[in-house]
Structure 1
């Protein structure tokens, strides 16, 4: 799907994030010379068309004091993983949760849930809560702690 000049300008104006102001679409619209409603509508269309996957906040957990970040990985019964994954993803300490294929025999895990805490003990308490929620459907699990902060970026257009 070809991008219009407006699409390219809109992506360029938002690829570093939406402005942190009370009315971000209006601020972007002012940069582009269009009403904020046009910005909101086109971004919504881009979501519907699959050009962009989501619009959301990307917090810096470390700056918020959450310095113990662990990807919890779970070996969950395949027949229950989707239902249980929805429940795990709804827990307050989980920022994202998703299903992934197993790679046996070395990697038996099929459910991943990122947990943030102010200490490893806090992450471990949250992992215990997930384990209790999963119940007998969970065969094994582990916690992989973050060792570096990776740069998070959104959609970027290459200049040709």
Structure 2
């Protein structure tokens, strides 16, 4: 438990800046290395679900994307494949001061709270004054199929251990 707490603190210290602050490539790469080192040193089972070779590929891909300045949110999104590859539903990378349920921010969220079940997606609630009824089925969003949307976001969600999808569906 102490190692996991230390890891969470180490990850939190990487992002104490404003979302709009521009970080230079050398800083981004340095932060990525601190993040990787923290995972390797403190995560109790880093390679339980994803092997070392796959993590090497993930970090190489991330590093290849850090050649131009990025803000904090862009860096966060770039690093998500490494966090998701842990397949550790108990580890969340939360920007300091933000809500743990939404990861990055609470404003500008998709206006509907959705539930994914197999190929069906239902409305569970609203984050704004939407008139779509609760439990209505969502078949597409802005012309994109649910299958397409699910494929693009599912790979970076961290709300479940191993290959469990319960937390991701919610």
User: Scaled by the length of structure 1, what TM-score is found?
Assistant: 0.26
User: Scaled by the length of structure 2, what TM-score is found?
Assistant: 0.25
Structure with larger Rg:
1
Higher strand share: 1
